[in-house]
Amino acid sequence: MHELARSGWRLHLALRGVNFAGAHLGTGGRHALLKKATDQPQQPAPGEFLVPSGAVARGEGRRRARPRLWHHDYLHLRPLAADLRHVLGDARGDPRDVAEPWLILDLGCGASPYREFFPAVLDAYVRVDLDGGASPGVVARGESLPFAAATFDGILATQVLLLAEEPAAMVAEIRRVIRPGGRVWVTCHGAWPRSGVAPENRFGEPDLERLFAAFDRVSVTPEGGYLGLPFALFNLALREGVRAAQRRFGRAALLLRLVAVPCFVAANLTGRVLERLAAAGPMRPLLSHLDRSLPMNYLVVAERGV
């Protein structure tokens, strides 16, 4: 766990589509964030990682933002990416003075795979993570964010809520730093496996509604359901088996990867067909209810009232 220096926080900002490398920032608010961005030179220091506006995050980020049929976790990531693309693309759809600065916080950013889903015009995109492995702008815990109250217009937190030591404290801190009228987008695991997670941090739909009850408007959407889950878990087990064989047999097991890919595709197609049947057709009333009973993820969209 990283200790946070009282003197300030490393910041990386994207200002009006241009990357800036920040120096140090205390617990200032919106104007301080924008001032730090505009005061900095337009070229980041060598080795610093910034997410370019409109660019696709590479590696793991690309896979999460644009899952493909041959990926083992396609059935897990596809609905997540599709729903985020929809809600984030419409993030600035509410009536608002376009001259007003618009600030986004990416909490638990990783490689910021969903940055590209936001509208192109952002005044600042602040990246926060628990450690420096992903080269975030700010190293901080979600339960104690180094920002003034009512700083951000939008906060995105994907698949990090279940990792928080105190999820309720993290949600309270999110509400503190979001502006009145601002929106929060949080995704968390449902039935999808994740190691190292305390059982009490596995949330269902009623749990999430209670957790975000302090917000004025909350919607919880199940993503990726019961019908696709067996095929997604088959792919996950196959991927883990291939990895175990590679660790034990080295290059001799590389052929297994070639065999696994067609299996991934077949399982993903089957699961996708069943998901489509649940969404349309004569069996929709029965299957759609069944498919929502054991989702792989949840998407929470919450808004703080004006």
Q: Which CATH architecture has domain 9-225+295-303?
A: 3-Layer(aba) Sandwich (3.40)
Residues 6+ apart with CB under 8 A from 35: none
Write out the DSSP string of the chain: -PPPPTT-EEEEEEETTEEEEEEEE-S--HHHHHHHHHHS-SSPPTT-----TTPPPPTHHHHHHS--TTSTTHHHHHHHHHHHHHHHHTTT-S---TTS--EEEEET-TT-TTGGGS-S--SEEEEEESSGGG--SEE--TTS-SS-TT-EEEEEEES-GGG-SSHHHHHHHHHHHEEEEEEEEEEEESSS--TT--GGG---HHHHHHHTTTSSEEEEEEES-TTTHHHHHHHHHHHHHHHHHHHHHGGGGHHHHHHHHHHHHHHHHHHHHHHHHHHSSTTHHHHHHHHTSS-SEEEEEEE---
- Tell me: the pLDDT tens digits for 70-85? 999 999 999 999 999 9
Q: Which residue has the tokens 């404290």?
A: 169
Cα dihedral sign for 256, 258, 264, 266?
Answer: negative
Q: List the domain boundaries for the chain.
A: 9-225+295-303, 229-291
Q: How confident is the model at residue 193 (pLDDT cuts 50, 70, 90)?
A: confident
Is the pTM for the entire model greater than 0.85?
A: no
By DSSP bridging, strand 297-303 and strand 18-25 are unpaired
**For residues 198-204, average pLDDT:** 75
**For residues 117-123, average pLDDT:** 77
**For residues 125-136, average pLDDT:** 76
**What is the rounded end-to-end Cα distance, in angstroms, of the chain?**
36
Q: How confident is the model at residue 23 (pLDDT cuts 50, 70, 90)?
A: very low
According to DSSP, the residues that pair with 301 across neighbouring strands are 185, 219
Please provide the average confidence, as pLDDT, over all residues in the chain.
77
What pLDDT does residue 62 have?
Answer: 85
pLDDT at 37 over 70: no
Q: How confident is the model at residue 140 (pLDDT cuts 50, 70, 90)?
A: confident
**For residues 160-185, average pLDDT:** 93
- Tell me: the pLDDT tens digits for 50-73? 333 334 345 777 889 999 999 999
- What the block records as the tokens of 295 is 């989702």
Tell me the percentage of the chain whose pLDDT exceeds 90.
Answer: 38
